[in-house]
């Protein structure tokens, strides 16, 4: 990937805690079902998996929210379960039930078969990454906004790999944790190596920041989180290339339900921490004490409100982060945007962010 | 209810932060599907609701775990949704989907119809309470252990009343919160008054401690929790009778996912706070600083482990609470016991608690 100038690098600057003229914003799951144009492309693809596996269509949906809204970053359209899928577990999406694996990991023999997927098996992700980078180049020859790559955390991937699908209490993986910690360690070790390779390849293909989604870290007991989720993410952060195209490639770590563990998370050396909507930003800033940037954390349900209430809630978030006056805040939701969000609510959010601070040049 | 001596009042003493010879223990949902004798009684009743609504059978299942295990408290067998059911919302339990209301609360007209249920409409709960108190009297004429009454928190009840059933993101109630706060306030106000009456009647019928289950407080944004859940619980705690039968009736407040809000919770004046399994007891003790007792907080999934691992995890909990050396800890799980728990695992937990400290006299 040839380095091109960035027309808007506020997101990357905020991740490095450098001053920005306004608070940069992107939204988790910003390319998603709440957008009618996304629904149309998905229909064309035939299924969610076909959409994620066709670089051309993944590029199309990645750019859709950028064409609508003044967002400061693009995020690769993909799914966290591509890695276990490439490991041969047989990913399916069942209507109303979410993701399912045909061959979940349950015993010694299953674990023995696990390996780091070849780069070829995930080639469609890297192709999409490169295609999105090309598509992001604007009429002036500069890249409009940076591109974020991402992966599920090893613990979160293992939750799906071992349960075989979504769960509320995760009894199967937790039974393995308490009965066969050796086995779970092996699952997490190979998954960690797979994620390192996956994110490294995304960076090589053009991802300019990377995010770890630890969706299920918050179901762990307080003293199990560090051992079974955070420790593996720390290994990943340490192993990733720190620079590409002459620029720092910052990392973001998001544990849903991890607001109580920020003191541990910041010690991983990650560049930014994503905060969920239940976490108090004022307390979080005190804990983190300027050692990394913070991303978040509007309740996604605020987007069901009218524009006055949205403006009020957005202002509360900005005030709590003292943003953009204190550098190091990226505005986001505290969780992925709901499929039931009215697209106009996103305009209201972004307008409220830019009130009182200038928009992108 | 005639006051009778308690053969074992360690649970009540620990709630008042008085010293106890060992750490008292009970388990949330201790009368439940993991016990074959419970399954048999439920079968006899025909349905879960019939079981909860038949005082004789509710008494039977309440006592089942006490006959098996050395537990230090009984908890009324009932359901948190009895109150909205008595409000006329039409409670049903749908196999695999959980509770559903036929007539959820969605608009002004629905809210206008809500009222505090008559005591008659919940008479089966108060009858069960009195019957359980009688059944708890042992061969020596003394009550074996104290009886806990309970209710859902107003926010948690409103979640079901407005969504019409369980939910993951609670879009309907959150839309009401951000679009029609006046309406939600009225729902919560009437529910608060209903819960005050409900728990007062349980106390009059013989409940010796009361617990508020705020199962869904943790889905609220950090600055919405106090306004929409905790504030109403505070009103309840302030309004409840503080004494009955010449004894203090302590209150326990449990917000799942509320570990970040303990500083606010302790200010309600509640006697004890239930901690979920994600909350660090050492940090919780520091925050609470001896102002109330703490209950919890073993990960329920530990009960899927073998007895050695169970013992190890139980010891970690006791050590973190410095229990029973520092008074004011009641051992419990951090969430209700799973239906998949092997009954023998509970013996292992209780044995581990009593190792190194004497059992009940």
Which pLDDT tens digit goes with each residue over A158-167?
Answer: 999 999 998 9
E strand spans, B242-316? 243-244, 247-248, 251-255, 272-274, 293-298
In the structure, what pLDDT confidence band is assigned to residue B361 with cuts at 50, 70 and 90? very low
Q: Cα(A232)–Cα(A229) distance, rounded to whole angstroms?
A: 6
Helix (H, G, I), strand (E, B) or coil at B209: strand
Catalytic residue flag (residue A33): yes
Q: Cα(A252)–Cα(A303) distance, rounded to whole angstroms?
A: 24
Q: How many CB atoms lie within 10 A of CB A290?
A: 11
Please answer yes or no on whether A302 and B178 come within 8 Å at the CB atom. Answer: yes
Residue bearing the bigger pLDDT, A358 or B210: B210
Catalytic residue flag (residue A29): yes
The DSSP call for residue B337 is: P
Which pLDDT score is estimated for A20? 97
Candidates A247, A31, A207, A6; CA nearest to A126 is: A207
Q: Cα(A80)–Cα(A71) distance, rounded to whole angstroms?
A: 22
Res. B87: pLDDT tops 90? yes
Which pLDDT score is estimated for A354? 94
Catalytic residue flag (residue A264): no
Please answer yes or no on whether B278 and A220 come within 8 Å at the CB atom. Answer: yes
Mean pLDDT, chain A, as a whole number? 96
Q: Cα(A26)–Cα(A144) distance, rounded to whole angstroms?
A: 14
Q: Are B323 and B303 in contact (CB under 8 A)?
A: no
Please answer yes or no on whether A224 and B283 come within 8 Å at the CB atom. Answer: no
Which pLDDT score is estimated for B95? 80
Per-residue pLDDT of B8-41, as tens digits, reads 999 999 999 999 999 999 999 999 999 999 999 9
Per-residue pLDDT of B227-275, as tens digits, reads 999 999 999 999 999 999 999 999 999 999 999 999 999 999 999 999 9
Per-residue pLDDT of B157-209, as tens digits, reads 999 999 999 898 899 999 999 999 999 999 999 999 999 999 999 999 999 99
Task: Give the tokens for residue B186.
Answer: 């009225």
| Cβ within 8 Å of residue B92, ≥6 positions away | B49, B99, B100, B101, B102
Q: How many helices (H) and strands (E) does chain B have?
A: 16, 11
| Cβ within 8 Å of residue A195, ≥6 positions away | A83, A151, A152, A153, A154, A157, A212, A236
Please answer yes or no on whether A257 and B257 come within 8 Å at the CB atom. Answer: yes
Res. B357: pLDDT tops 70? no
Which pLDDT score is estimated for A95? 80
Task: Give the tokens for residue B195.
Answer: 């819960």
Helix (H, G, I), strand (E, B) or coil at B93: strand
Which of the following is catalytic: A9, A72, A79, A214?
A79
- According to the 3-state scheme, what is the secondary structure of chain A? CCCCCECCCHHHHHHCCCCCCCCCECCCCCCCCCCHHHHHHHHHHCCHHHHHHCHHHHHHHHHHHHHHCCCCCEECCCCCCHHHHHHHHCEEEECCCEEEECCCCCCHHHHHHCCCCCCHHHHHHHHHHHHHHHHCECCCCCECCCEEEEEECHHHHHHHHHHCECCCCCHHHHHHHHHCHHHHHHHHHHHHHHHHHHHHHHHHHCCCEEEEEECCHHHCCHHHHHHHHHHHHHHHHHHCCCEECCEECCEEEEECCCHHHHHHHHCCCCCEEECCCCCCHHHHHHHHCCCCEEEEEECHHHHHCCHHHHHHHHHHHHHHHCCCCCCCEEEEECCCCCCCCCHHHHHHHHHHHHCCCCCCC
Please answer yes or no on whether B299 and A224 come within 8 Å at the CB atom. Answer: yes
**ipTM of the assembly?**
0.93
- Its pTM stands at 0.95
B224's enclosing H/E stretch is helix B222-225
Candidates A269, A214, A289, A211; CA nearest to A30 is: A211
Average pLDDT over residues A178-183: 97
- Distance, in angstroms, between B228 CA and closest chain A CA? 13
| Cβ within 8 Å of residue A126, ≥6 positions away | A119, A201, A202, A204, A205
In the structure, what pLDDT confidence band is assigned to residue B294 with cuts at 50, 70 and 90? very high
Which chain A residue lies closest to B176 (C-alpha atoms)? A305
Q: Cα(A240)–Cα(A193) distance, rounded to whole angstroms?
A: 11
Contacts of A220 in chain B (CB under 8 A): 278, 299
Catalytic residue flag (residue B193): no
Contacts of A319 in chain B (CB under 8 A): none
Q: Cα(B295)–Cα(B334) distance, rounded to whole angstroms?
A: 8
- Distance, in angstroms, between A281 CA and closest chain B CA? 9
Q: Cα(A347)–Cα(B1) distance, rounded to whole angstroms?
A: 61
Task: Give the tokens for residue B231.
Answer: 């504030």
Res. B2: pLDDT tops 60? no
- Distance, in angstroms, between A142 CA and closest chain B CA? 39
Which pLDDT score is estimated for A358? 57
Q: How many CB atoms lie within 10 A of CB A95?
A: 5
Catalytic residue flag (residue B107): no
Domain ranges (residues) in chain A: 10-354
Contacts of B307 in chain A (CB under 8 A): none
Candidates A18, A157, A293, A179; CA nearest to B304 is: A179
Report CA A218 to chain centroid distance, whole Å.
Answer: 16
Please answer yes or no on whether A299 and B171 come within 8 Å at the CB atom. Answer: no
Q: Are A157 and A191 in contact (CB under 8 A)?
A: yes
Res. B3: pLDDT tops 80? no
Minimum mean pLDDT range among A95-109, A297-311, B132-146: A95-109
| Backbone torsion region of residue A213, taken as left when φ is above 0, otherwise alpha when ψ lies between -120 and 50, otherwise beta | beta
Per-residue pLDDT of A37-86, as tens digits, reads 999 999 999 999 999 999 999 999 999 999 999 999 999 999 999 999 99
Which pLDDT score is estimated for B4? 66
The DSSP call for residue B143 is: B
B311's enclosing H/E stretch is helix B307-321
Res. A4: pLDDT tops 80? no
Q: Cα(B314)–Cα(A174) distance, rounded to whole angstroms?
A: 16
Residue to mutate among B215, B262, B278, B349, with most A CBs inside 10 A, is B278
Q: Cα(A306)–Cα(A41) distance, rounded to whole angstroms?
A: 28
Contacts of A304 in chain B (CB under 8 A): 171, 174-175, 178-179
Provide the CATH topology of domain B10-354. TIM Barrel (3.20.20)
In the structure, what pLDDT confidence band is assigned to residue A14 with cuts at 50, 70 and 90? very high
């Amino acid at each position: 990937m040839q380095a091109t100038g960035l027309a808007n690098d506020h997101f990357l600057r905020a991740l490095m805690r450098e001053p920005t003229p306004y608070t940069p914003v992107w939204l988790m799951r910003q390319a998603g079902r709440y957008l009618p144009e996304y629904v149309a492309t998905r229909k064309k693809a035939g299924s969610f998996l076909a959409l994620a596996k066709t670089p051309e269509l993944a590029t199309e949906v990645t750019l859709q929210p950028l064409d609508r809204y003044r967002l400061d970053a693009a995020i690769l359209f993909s799914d966290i379960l591509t890695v276990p899928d490439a490991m041969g577990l047989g990913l399916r999406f069942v209507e109303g039930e979410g993701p399912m694996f045909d061959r979940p990991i349950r015993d010694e023999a299953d674990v023995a078969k696990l390996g780091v997927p070849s780069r070829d098996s995930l080639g469609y992700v890297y192709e999409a990454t490169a295609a999105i980078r090309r598509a992001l180049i604007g009429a002036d020859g500069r890249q409009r906004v940076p591109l974020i790559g991402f992966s599920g955390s090893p613990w979160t991937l293992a939750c799906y790999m071992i349960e075989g699908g979504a769960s509320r209490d995760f009894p199967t993986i937790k039974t393995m944790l308490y009965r066969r910690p050796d086995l779970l360690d092996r699952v997490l070790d190979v998954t960690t190596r797979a994620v390192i390779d996956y994110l490294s390849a995304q960076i090589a293909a053009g991802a300019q920041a990377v995010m770890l989604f630890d969706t299920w870290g918050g179901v762990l007991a307080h003293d199990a989180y560090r051992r079974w989720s955070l420790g593996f993410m720390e290994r990943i952060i340490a192993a990733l290339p720190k620079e590409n195209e002459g620029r720092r490639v910052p990392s973001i770590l998001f544990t849903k339900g991890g607001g109580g563990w920020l003191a541990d998370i910041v010690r991983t050396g990650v560049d930014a921490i994503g905060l969920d909507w239940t976490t108090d930003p004022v307390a979080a800033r005190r804990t983190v004490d300027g050692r990394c940037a913070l991303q978040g954390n509007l309740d996604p349900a605020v987007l069901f409100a009218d524009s006055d209430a949205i403006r009020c809630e957005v202002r509360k978030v900005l005030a709590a982060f003292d943003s953009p006056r204190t550098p190091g805040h990226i505005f986001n939701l505290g969780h992925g945007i709901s499929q039931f969000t009215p697209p106009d609510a996103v305009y209201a959010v972004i307008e409220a962010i830019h009130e009182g601070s200038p928009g992108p040049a």
